[in-house]
Amino acid sequence: MIGEVIMPKKVAFYTLGCKVNQYESDAMAELFKNRGYELVGFDDVADVYVINTCTVTNEGARKSRQIIRKAARRNPEATIAVVGCYAQLEAEEVSRIPGVDVVVGTKDRHKIVDLVEQAGKNNEKIIEVEDIMQTRNFEEIAFRGHRQRTRAFLKIQEGCNMFCSYCIIPYVRGPVRSRTLESIIREAENLAGDGFKEIVLTGIHLGLYGADFKGGPTLYDVIERLSRIEGIKRIRLSSIEAMELSDDLIKKLASLDNFCHHFHIPLQSGSDRILKLMNRRYTTAEFEERLRFIRDIMPDVGITTDVIVGFPGETDEDFEITRKFIERAAFSRLHVFKFSPRKGTPAAEMPDQIPGPVKESRSRELIRLSRRLERDFRDGLTGKVLDVLFEERDNRGLYHGLTDNYIRVAVWSDQDLHNRLLPVRLIENRDEYIFGEIKKF
């Protein structure tokens, strides 16, 4: 019909799991937008649903299946694409879920739009999953980031070869692959040009960046080169292992003005016996020595961590040792996870599995400890003036942002502070943030 308006097709995303998954979903969403699709919320009726799955735990796999079925009910005529870790591990199982049209693992995400359109056009089921252990190259997906955000995640590394006894990730993400320095800088320059002031470097095992290069750039080379890009005021690491933070690396990072004084260093357990069962490659003494050295070089540093409670064989004594270690280490925040056995990992078959109520009790105790440690860390900052990168205003009118050592700060302001980096005097420690005042000049 003459003059008929053709509406763009709609695509909706649902992302489970880690920040790497979120980065990859955002990048795939941009591919759809570049092809003329309209991005809508997952609860809307869409022509295409993309579910980026997680399989770190059995619960993650169960939730992935639940979301797939929800999309099929939302619009039975839609094309449903399932991507990510669960799709990589259980491609055939995923393909048998009613409504699934496209299955893509942890590579070839750059083909997602073509695969979706091919499935829709030919009314066929497509499974695009290869042996990830044979993959040797970093997969790039062009991505400019979300304009409404202040921090941009930049993925520079893929894969892991550490094989912790509880973790399925090496089997679904494959061996270590690093992104070229030229590609990293190109994306970072685009992000800086779009107004982002903070870059968060992310990967599956970030500290292994460059391990697959022969004499190529190191993680520090990446950070140092990013520090010279005009407009980038902060560079943050998403997560790094303790033993990958050498004395030399810490000193070099401390010398960069725009490197954030914040490290997320996974502990997992404060018991050496449990660490050995987990196949973690350090002792608590080595971990503690790394914390001490970092704090000597960066006295204002914030150090957050991950802890798993209820690992098979964890006794009351092991848990108490862990609790005391955490208290002594004075982390600024904990991420507490209850152990969930993942089929295919050694830990799932270990004896002495811990009952659910015990795991729940230990989790609650560490969460309470985390709140106290976080408040103690904020107490030590009260009265100081720190730069805050503001993000958003809440429904009470308070504008919230983060310091470089990862403390949430809120101020009253009738101005739009979004994406502004301003000095703030920290006045009052409240439940989840420090209240402050923007310093007047």
Q: Do domains 131-260 and 264-379 have the same CATH topology?
A: yes
Do residues 11 and 50 lie in contact, with contact meaning Cβ atoms separated by under 8 Å? yes
- Considering the domain 131-260, what is its CATH architecture? 2-Layer Sandwich (3.30)
pTM of the predicted model as reported, rounded to 2 decimal places: 0.90
**CA 150 – CA 233 distance, rounded (Å):** 11
- The edge-to-edge listing of strands for the beta sheet with 234-237 is 177-178, 151-158, 198-203, 234-237
**CA 173 – CA 438 distance, rounded (Å):** 44
Do residues 378 and 232 lie in contact, with contact meaning Cβ atoms separated by under 8 Å? no
Do residues 377 and 301 lie in contact, with contact meaning Cβ atoms separated by under 8 Å? no
Quote the pLDDT of residue 441.
Answer: 55
What is 385-438's CATH topology?
Answer: OB fold (Dihydrolipoamide Acetyltransferase, E2P) (2.40.50)
Q: Which residues touch 145 (CB under 8 Å, ≥6 apart)? A: 26, 152, 153, 190, 191, 194, 196
Nearest to 164 by CA among 350, 354, 352, 345: 345
**CA 105 – CA 113 distance, rounded (Å):** 14
Quote the pLDDT of residue 110.
Answer: 92
The domain ranges of the chain are 10-130, 131-260, 264-379, 385-438
Do residues 343 and 372 lie in contact, with contact meaning Cβ atoms separated by under 8 Å? no
Quote the pLDDT of residue 1.
Answer: 47
Query: Block means of pLDDT (10 residues each) for the chain, length 441 residues?
Result: 67 92 92 95 96 86 92 95 94 94 93 95 90 80 60 93 94 94 94 93 96 93 98 97 97 98 98 98 98 98 98 98 98 96 93 97 98 97 97 93 97 94 97 93 55
Nearest to 218 by CA among 284, 157, 264, 275: 157
Whether domain 264-379 has CATH 3.30.750.200: the reply is: yes
DSSP letters along 338-394, please?
E----TTSGGGG-SSPPPHHHHHHHHHHHHHHHHHHHHHHHHTTTT-EEEEEEEEE-
- The edge-to-edge listing of strands for the beta sheet with 79-84 is 38-40, 10-15, 48-53, 79-84, 100-104, 126-128
C-alpha distances in Å from residue 187, one per residue of 145, 226, 367: 9, 10, 37
Nearest to 108 by CA among 138, 147, 148, 151: 138
Nearest to 64 by CA among 97, 31, 27: 97
| Largest separation between any pair of C-alpha atoms in the chain | 77
Do residues 222 and 182 lie in contact, with contact meaning Cβ atoms separated by under 8 Å? no
Domain 10-130 sits in which CATH superfamily? Answer: Methylthiotransferase, N-terminal domain (3.40.50.12160)
